[in-house]
Every structure is written in C-alpha cells, then in structure tokens.
Amino acid sequence: MTEQILSHLRALYEPAVAKTTYTALQVLMEQVRIPIPDATTPFSERDIALITYGDTLRREGEAPLETLYDFLCSHLSDLVSIIHILPFSPYSSDDGFSVVDYEAVDKNLGDWDHINKIAYEFRLMVDLVLNHMSAQSAWFKAFLADNPGYADLFFIESPDTDLSSVTRPRATSLLTPFNKDSGEKVHVWTTFSADQVDFDYRAPATLLRMIGVLLFYIEQGASIIRLDAVAYLWKQVGTSSIHLQQTHKVIQLIRAILDEVAPHVLIITETNVPHQENISYFGDGYNEAQMVYNFSLPPLLLYTMKTGDVTLIANWINSLKQLSERTTFFNFTASHDGIGVRPLEGLVDNETIRELAAFVEARGGRVSYRQNTDGSLSPYELNITYVDAVASPDADETTRIKQFIVTQAVMLALSGMPAVYIHNLLGSHNDTGAVERLGYARAINRAKLDADALLDELQDENSFRAKVLETYQNLITARRNCPCFHPNVSQQAFATHDNGVLVIVRESGSQTVYAMHNFTDRPATVTLDIAGWHDLLSGDSGENGNVEVDPYGIRWLEVRN
C-alpha cells in the first residue's frame, strides 16, 4: 500500500515533492483513530439511503439535528440504513456548499454530539466539498493576507489567459477579482460562484489539508464520503479542466488511503455529466469510487413519463454494467439539486432536452443554464420537485400519486443502491415562495418543514403526504426483503404492451423477480413465460403468465425457478 500511495503522489508531483508529501501524509494517517467494524459486504438489498438537509425538519426550541434524529428513529428506522446529511458545516452561500469551517457544525443545526448520535444508529454519509470553499472563510482571508501557510491554497489565474476551452457548469464568470491585504489584485478561479473559491491542488499542502478534513469526518463517524463536484478538482490552462487524469489520481490516492486506515468507508463521486464520463470514476472497479450517482436516471424517467414510451429507458438499463463486486450505482430521482440534463447528452437530441425544459416550466418549475465554450447557453438543470415534474396537474390525486410512485418503483427495482430524497418520501410540492424569497431556483425543492405540522399530516391517512409515504414504505419493505434486489444482482429490461410497460428482470439463485411498471393511462395485460407467481407488493398470486397491470400500476412478481 505504501508503494501505491507513493505512486499516486509521483503522478501528481515531482519525485522529491512526492516523497516529502508522503512523509507528511504518513503522519496524518498514523494520527487517525478510527474503529474498523467487522468485515462486511459494502452493500446489500437492505441498504436504502435517505438524502436530507440537517434542518429540513424544524421544531421550536429544538436543534434541527435532534428533530431529524427523532423523526428518523420514530418513522424511518425500518426503511433506511444510510443517512446522507447534506453539508452541515457553517457556510456563507449555496445552502451549505460554500463551507466556512470544515471542522465545525453549524450552530443553527446542532453540534457534533447530534451528528455522532445519527452515525451510531445509521451509516452516515457526508460531503467532502473538496473543489472549493467559502470566500468568507478564515482560510481564504489568510490567503488574502499572504499568510505563508495559505499562500498557494487557492487557484489564481490571469484574466488575460485564454480559458475558452474550460468546461463550464454555470453561466457566471470563471475568474473573480479579489484584493489582497497588500493591495495586490488577484483573480481567483471560481467554478460555481464568486463566493466559492477553488482550491489549487498543484500545491501539495492543499492536498494534505483536505486529506486531513477527510480523516476528521471519518473519525466523527462518517462511513460514506461524497466527493462533491470532484470532476473540476484539477485545473490546467489549455484543457477543459474537467475529468483530468490528475483528478482521477487524487481519487485513487484517497481510495488507497482509506483502504489502509478505514477499509469500511465507501467513496461516492458526484459528477453531473454525460453517462460515459460519469462512470469513468469507477476506475478499474477497485481503485476509485465504489459508487457513482446514476445521473441519467432522473431525466430519463421524466422523459418516459412525458412520452409514455419505455423503449429508451429499457435500452439504457441494458447498457449498464457493474465493474466489480465492490462497485455499484447510486440510484436516485431527486436530490437537493435539480434534474440534471447533461446526462441525457448522447441519449436524446438537443431539441428533446429543450422540450423537457419547457415541459417543466409549464408545471411550475425553473430551468438553470450553463455557458458553452462558444458563449451560448444550454439547459443544465431542471428545478422542480419530482412529484410536480412527473405527476400531471390535471389528474386526480390518486392518479398523480400513481404517476409519481411508478417512477420511484423503477428506481428501487434497478441494480444499484437506492437513494431517496426526503421531499420525495414526503410527497412535497414546489416551494415557489422560497424561490421568490431567496432568489435562486434550487430553493424550489429545499423546503423547510414544521416537524409537528408534518406529523399531523402523516397521521391523517387521507393526506397527500401520508398516502405517498405509505406507498413508498410498501415498496421499500418489499425491496429490502428480497435478495433479487441486491445491488449487484444482474438485470435485464424490456418494453412491452406497445412500449408502455417497462419490465425489469432480476434473478438470484432460485428466485426471479419480474418488476413491471406501466407508464400509460391504459390497463395492460403482460404475458410472461412463467407458470406461477406471487406479487411482492399486493400479495396476489397467479397460476399463469397473463398478468394484469393497472394504469400507472406496479407489479413485482416473484417466481421460483
């Protein structure tokens, strides 16, 4: 392992620098005190992740992390095994992704004791925001003051440099001017916003600082590390500055370090890009991330519901490959961000993406844009709750719930680990008031909920939230109790009934599951070459292969081979 770590460092830095960096890294690793649990498989069919902000649920006079903990233990302990708490450090913008202090918990949320409690009951997933930090942070202020310990921490570039080849995820300026305490003006690389200043990993001290943060999080109980915006980590003038080999080497280095000091900890990369670029972060299946977000899934499901044609998503599912028994996809339909449309590139044409954007706007959503290398703008992200994206506003409530749930059932039936955003689980609608109040489109799906009012709604079995949660619970329970839904069990998909019904076949040992999902408003009779079946969801059984599927209906049929 020592030689492997050294090899990664030599790929990043000159030999002498790599050696001194390794010596410093050894000190960091030797100081770590991380209890390593008994050897276990990295994931199973019982693993479901919940994505939430630390303050999505609020109660007067109570720390939001305590409110979250109570809700998790009282309502979700039998449903989810992993809790992804979105950035909980003090921040200055971007709802946590502009970190001010990596080693502190935002006092408005709670403290490390609250985080530790959640980590004790569930597997904890945390964000390592390693591409940038807040321009309001003490680190950046020390950089502007020419403090020697921070001299090379952030990436400076001349505004006269030709940066036209750089891939942009935003329509904002790539360089932001700042005045140092000495009066010198510097232009700092800011990939995402003027308040998010990018690190310079050409300096080994920067790498060591962030490795220190990583190990600190693991000491606090984190067992899954999300590498936020990692694709943009290494910058190099004259290139796209995305997916560079040096970036992959940094991830390989992190993996090698964790394999040494915390082999139970998983890495997940967040790269909202076209599919082939995204899956490159699996590496060879053993040397980079154990999980990558399945970013093409959310917009594909939206497209499928819009068209009522499952052909495209069936073909895409059949193209997915598991690289090794140590890797899997992180399947989701919604998160704190919007529905990224770059992952549709290569699957549909640009006109189809523009039509999806217009479709979302017609349903009360917003569209965020990115700047292309020629200066033009393209849709980057659709900002809308997933319920309001896929459920027709003209339909009755029962139909809207079925339209939403059928998309969630596909996500849960696929090979990979499912991740459920809390506002999906609770059936939240667009928070357009927050968009107007806060001034940014992503606020539409980041509502803050009064915990007691929410509990009252959930106790009312006729409320929209209660109906959504109950239906979701049934799906999750069925998945967790069926070995065919193990993340690495093989899958095959096909379209049937005039391409309106998606069938996903999962087979494990003597058991096969045919997961059927109707994306139309018409009942369907699906004919399968099976003798008898048992529906994991309804409890129904049948003696032949002619199976009725309701409009927007779901059947998960268990068959003994």
Which residues are known to be catalytic?
228
Q: How far apart are CA 144 and CA 181, in angstroms?
A: 6
Residue 400's CB is within 10 A of a number of other CB atoms, namely: 21
Q: How far apart are CA 475 and CA 453, in angstroms?
A: 25
Assign residue 283 a region (left: φ > 0; alpha: ψ between -120 and 50; beta: otherwise): left
Beta bridge partner(s), residue 85: 52
Contact indicator for 317, 359 with CB cutoff of 8 Å: no
Nearest Cα residue to 314 out of 327, 303, 324, 328: 303
How far, in whole angstroms, is CA 75 from its chain's centroid? 23
Residue 268, classed as helix, strand or coil, is: strand
- Both tokens assigned to 83: 């809790």
Task: Name, in order, each residue with C-beta under 8 angstroms of 514's C-beta and a sequence gap of 6 or more.
Answer: 503, 504, 505, 528, 530, 533, 555, 556, 557, 559
Max intra-chain CA distance, the chain: 82
SS (H, E, C) 68-134: HHHHHHHHHCCCCCEEEECCCCCECCHHHCCECCCCCCCCCCCCHHHHHHHHHHCEEEEEECCCEEE
Q: How far apart are CA 330 and CA 268, in angstroms?
A: 8
CA contacts within 13 A on the Cβ side of 258:
29
Helix axes 397-413, 297-307, angle to 10 degrees: 140
Q: How far apart are CA 477 and CA 482, in angstroms?
A: 9
